[in-house]
Amino acid sequence: MTSFGCCPLSMQLFAFGVIALFLVYKWVTGTFDFFAKRNISFERPIPLFGNLGGIVFGKQTVLDVARRLYTKYKSQKYYGTFNLRTPILTIADLGLIKQIGVKDFASFPNHRSFIEPEDHVLLATSLFFLKDQRWKDMRTTLSPAFTGNKLRQMLPLISKCCLNGSDYLWEKTSRDDGMELDINDFFIRYTVDVMASTAFGVEINSLKNVDNDFYRIARQIMPVSLWATIRIFLCLSCRKLMRFLKVSIIDESFLNYFKKLVLNTISIRSQEGIVRHDMINLLMQAQEEYTEPKISGFDSNLEHPAVDESKSDLNPVNSKWSDDEIVAQCFMFLAGGFGPTSSTMSFCAHEIMAHPDVQQKLLAEIDKTRESLNGNPITYGDLEKMKYLDMVISETLRKWPTNVTTERVCSRNYQIENVDTGDRVDLEPGQNVEIPIAGLHYDPEYWTDPENFDPERFNDENKKDIKPFTYLPFGVGPRNCIGSRFALIMMKASLYHLLSEFTLQESSKTQIPLTLVPLGIQYTSKGGFWMKIKPRNI
């Protein structure tokens, strides 16, 4: 009999190939028995992609997947999902969500870490991915940027971008016929302009200067192609291989441009003594000293973390931030802001256009506010008083959440008990849990006719009946979105200025109802958000 060593080279290569494929298969499926061993219900995962295969290849959206899994397993209070190879325990019970997200926050203080500094320094050292005390210090540093006082100072910068948008529409719109446009592109450009102004002190007008450097580079953050989506998933699931191949989630030219922009701005301001009410100014102050505002209790249902604004001066705390960490926070502000915010405004505009009764109520409130201003600019306080505008945005965030889930990592041994069955789950440090925001937002047990767009859910009478932890557009607990108040005021200002002068109407390209398609790890409307913008006769 011929020995293996004497086999033709092709046979040896075939054998090695079979062994390699077997080892790869064992690796990609090595975690797939995690929930079966613990007697936890789960949907059978696909090798390498887990439960996200449909998303990666553009067959399903994250909203579809999150809602479907929640509906399928909700009655069991918790269930298993696989994010690529990573097993994640998804919590569907409101009591457990409160326990993990708030009461036992010390046991779940961090987000899942799938980015290391050697992979992407601007992501790894941003607030979202920082851990434990380093996260707490940075959250403390950044919190003053989002207090009511700071937002009041930023509003004129935001309003200027809104007025640029109105001027653009007046130039392009025919008073008789109106202007047909994909309003998503309009909002993306507006949001990029706001981010450039309020974070970096860069004055641009992306509606007129359509291909400016800041806008062109910022768009690279949002993956819009199948390859971009696959590249992200490969970088997350095969980090060492992608690092060896020098494949990055975001192009190096973007990183270099961004870092140069921030550090040059800091250098010029330091040399010339320039003070501007934006994030870079706050981070410059934090280089030497900052205060520790009290992050107190919060209403996890509708409100956001309460910050002690009585401490307006920056007092010393023992911490120092590197240039990379400062640039990372600016990157986080841009990446976490313009994509989700512009998407929410696009969905909101669509719902306003598709529901004429909602639009008429909103126009009436806007006109009443304008009349009370007597020609003066809108203020932060004026926007906060507009209850129906807040209701419309709140309902948009319920129906079209930008984050369909939020996750945490267990930091110490922890036990979860199902009081109905008596079953227990023992979690160890490093294991992941997830809260299914989209599932909660569409649960008919908590929301009557959840597919319907109904801002009245959030009026004064109905709002008090919303069950805590069923409405989580900005996350839950101390690690919820730090920029939620900024995003809300930016959306309110934009809609106020837009609807003060224009109405939103169906066009020949309008799609009702919307058909969703994946946009990387987000989702959007297939074919855009087309509508007619028509000047108001006021």
Query: In a 3-state reduction of DSSP, which class is residue 440?
Result: helix
Contact partners, residue 104, CB within 8 Å, separation at least 6: 414
Q: How far, in Å, CA of 160 to CA of 15, rounded?
A: 67
Is the separation of the CB atoms in 350 and 529 below 8 Å? yes
Question: What is the phi/psi pair of residue 121, to 5°?
Answer: -65, -35
Tokens of 253: 């030219």
Is the separation of the CB atoms in 484 and 403 below 8 Å? no
If one counts every other C-beta atom within 10 angstroms of the C-beta of residue 430, the result is 10
Residue type, 337: G
Is the separation of the CB atoms in 123 and 129 below 8 Å? yes
The HSE-up count of residue 60 (CA atoms within 13 Å, CB side) is 13
Q: How far, in Å, CA of 305 to CA of 476, rounded?
A: 9
481 is in an annotated binding site: yes
Considering only CA atoms, which of 358, 314, 342 is closest in space to residue 147? 314
Backbone conformation region of residue 77, classed left if phi is above 0, alpha if psi is from -120 to 50, else beta: left
Query: In a 3-state reduction of DSSP, which class is residue 26?
Result: helix
Is the separation of the CB atoms in 479 and 109 below 8 Å? yes
Q: How far, in Å, CA of 234 to CA of 248, rounded?
A: 10
Query: In a 3-state reduction of DSSP, which class is residue 123?
Result: helix
Strands of the sheet with 179-182, listed across from one edge: 179-182, 530-535, 502-505
Q: Return binding residues for heme.
A: 481
Q: Return binding residues.
A: 481
